[in-house]
Amino acid sequence: MSVYTQLTDAQFAEFCQRFGVAFARAIPITQGIKNSNWFIQTTDDNEGEHSYVFTLFEERPPSDIEKMAVILNQLVGKLPVAAPMALVDGKDKSYVIHYDNKAITLVPCLSGAHPQQTTETMCADMGAALAVLHETLQALQPSEDYGVALYPWNEVRDREIQFMPSDEAKLMLVIWQSYSDLPLDTLPKGLCHLDMFADNTLWHLDDNNETLSGLLDFTEVSVEHYVMDIAITINDFCTTWGDAEQGESVDFDRQKMAAFLQGYESKRTLNTDEKQALPVMLAKAAVIFWLLRLNVIHYNRTEGRTGDNIMVKNPDLMKRLAAYHWSHVEKA
């Protein structure tokens, strides 16, 4: 994730001590767009090694992050996740430090690397992992007590659509209406990740062998239709992203999508309504992340966020993916 809040080495040392960790060095992590993250090297690490990820959550309140800790502990043993460490300086078990009305967590580093590209095998494995996530989190009931509230994307839409060319606004609105017309009440819901992009996964990649070794960033876990979570994940895992500024299009691989769905259904079967809803969900999921990226640009501008550690993903790529998916809905 990008780094928005700056901390001193003395602050890092104090916070890490509360988790029982001897701090040596903090290394900024610049991928992503929402929270401030650093790798933490300890006094026991060798040169270049880091043992933990230190996260300062810029938007989610500490109560949401406590829920996230419960969710991650529910998944331990079922999926490759790293659960937040408990504080060692209090009587009550807690996983969160409160700092300037924000939450701080420390989690062990998972091994592996972010994939530069995906394969059909990786897509199938990711589909199976997402289904296991959906099934496992059903044990947390009522699910609304654990998931955070869904973001009000309709408000972002209403703000941003005023500044769009008419063809872009029309595309967004027609996809939104098509989503609203789905039989949403028949689509199963539960706790969903809602941000399972490839850069939120880790893999051991060697000798043409790909093994999933880490699932990251559970800050957006919310109660949502499972097929929306599937669509969000497919959109990234099955797409090769071009350079929008160079006029390159996105390349969506339908064979990868088939592999993903086969992997998913090896663990959880989709019902007929979910299968019929998926094409529209793929388009709507692209619209949501189109709006998300526009929203990040909006808040960076209004809050004066600048600097080399701020990364903004291009919203035009998601706009083009939304248009691709909508063209297939129209053809159906």
Confidence band of 228 (pLDDT split at 50, 70, 90): very high
Reply yes or no on domain 9-108 having CATH 3.30.200.20: yes
Structure tokens at 98: 């409160």
Residue-wise DSSP of 290-309: HHHHHHHHHHHHHTT--STT
Reply yes or no on domain 120-331 having CATH 3.40.50.11900: no
pTM for the model? 0.85
Say whether pLDDT at 3 is over 70: no
Q: In whole angstroms, what is the distance from residue 195 CA to residue 1 CA?
A: 13
Residues 178-223: tens digit of each pLDDT:
999 999 999 999 999 999 999 999 999 887 789 999 999 898 899 9
Output the CA torsion sign for 126, 132, 134, 137. negative
- Among 39-48, 109-118, 180-189, 256-265, the range scoring the smallest mean pLDDT is 39-48
Mean pLDDT, to the nearest integer, of 95-106?
Answer: 93
Percent above pLDDT 90 for the chain = 72
- Domain positions in the chain are 9-108, 120-331
Domains 9-108 and 120-331 alike in fold:
no
Percent above pLDDT 70 for the chain = 93
CB burial readout 55-74, b (16+ within 10 A) else e? bbbbebebebbebbbebbeb
**Which residues lie across from 79 on neighbouring strands?**
76
Residues 241-294: tens digit of each pLDDT:
877 566 667 899 999 999 999 999 999 999 999 999 999 999 999 999 999 999
Instruction: Supply the pLDDT for residue 29.
Output: 86
Instruction: Supply the pLDDT for residue 1.
Output: 43
Say whether pLDDT at 110 is over 60: yes
Q: In whole angstroms, what is the distance from residue 203 CA to residue 210 CA?
A: 6
**Residue scoring higher pLDDT (49 or 300):** 300
Say whether pLDDT at 320 is over 90: yes
Query: Is residue 166 within 8 Å of residue 122, measured between CB atoms?
Result: no
